[in-house]
Structure 1
């Protein structure tokens, strides 16, 4: 991959085992286009996991490599994109994370580590609009989300859509990026609905 993908937190909180596997499969409905085959659709995504799931993934196969606070899976998601698992000490306690890194880029693992630590070291809990949208995509079942295909307007092709319900309770499909603040609030779990936007340092 020729450019550095932006690190993107795709789930708020510590993922359960079921949620962990769901996020590994969150793009299964996506078209087999260049974004998917090159790995760009995955690169940069990260989320927090439990210590037990971190250790279980380490034991599944011998890692491709292990260095200090991280190890990489031997199996690649696409081209040079693979799962990297981190054990990071943040605010005095250990936490565990999964991320998709591009191993063709020598700096990708270090940038990912830095992005996770910077994001999780914020003193006030908050979610950006982009993080809320990623969380919604991660927790929405496959029957209620999809990638736009030939049935949609040309500008929608390949973009993520979710089902929303109108005031009349009619189900409509809408681009994830176009969800209103009210629609985002309805789709987020109750405990995340009133989290503020992060404040820039």
Structure 2
């Protein structure tokens, strides 16, 4: 994959069908939609799905291609970025994943496959700070997340924002990247709050 594309997990745990369709276009409400080149926004994103969702997507349309335990959708998200679905055996269990790969890069699919296996083969379940922030963004209702507008300093405009509750201040708007550890914990589901920090790959 291109050095400019980072491979990143954007949701913790297997997504339900509703969550899966929401995750397909997490960036739909960005203010630059229709004016930007969004390849870098989508390419490299991945998350886990169930076998049922994997099989459902396989049956929607004839795949663009099938390679062993992987297949690609023939409908592209943007440019040459499309959905690739993986069935991977990790620690003896068959698991299923969706990733956005830029097919203009011949190595993108294999890089994604290797990255998923590496990330999910870690002996202790954990989350990096970036994975926590991406999970929060992926699961927060659109009414409570957005993008910094023209009231923000120019250098911050367009960055992702999050509405949080602050003792004494009520609801306040913060940049997603500026959430404190306590604020992140407050936004995560209970079962993820105590996961140890993972070292980013």
Aligned twin of 2:41: 41
CA 1:94–1:124 in 2, change beyond 3 Å: closer, same or farther?
Answer: same
- 5 Å matches for 1:98-109? 98-109=98-109
CA distance, structure 2, for counterparts of residue 10 and residue 146 of structure 1? 17
Query: Does residue 179 of structure 2 align to residue 182 of structure 1?
Result: no
Aligned twin of 2:71: 71
The answer for unaligned runs of 5 or more in structure 1 is none
The answer for unaligned runs of 5 or more in structure 2 is none
Does the 8 Å contact 2:4/2:40 carry over to 1? no
CA 1:26–1:9 in 2, change beyond 3 Å: closer, same or farther?
Answer: same
Instruction: Report the TM-score when normalising by structure 2.
Output: 0.94
Does the 8 Å contact 2:128/2:199 carry over to 1? no
CA 1:127–1:77 in 2, change beyond 3 Å: closer, same or farther?
Answer: same
CA distance, structure 1, for counterparts of residue 137 and residue 36 of structure 2? 17
Shifted more, 169-178 versus 120-129: the winner is 169-178
Aligned twin of 2:114: 114
CA distance, structure 2, for counterparts of residue 99 and residue 36 of structure 1? 21
Shift of 1:36: 4.9
- 5 Å matches for 1:1-201? 3-32=3-32, 36-168=36-168, 170-199=170-199
Shift of 1:54: 0.5
Does the 8 Å contact 1:10/1:45 carry over to 2? yes
CA distance, structure 2, for counterparts of residue 13 and residue 89 of structure 1? 16
Does the 8 Å contact 1:43/1:102 carry over to 2? yes
CA distance, structure 2, for counterparts of residue 124 and residue 2 of structure 1? 29
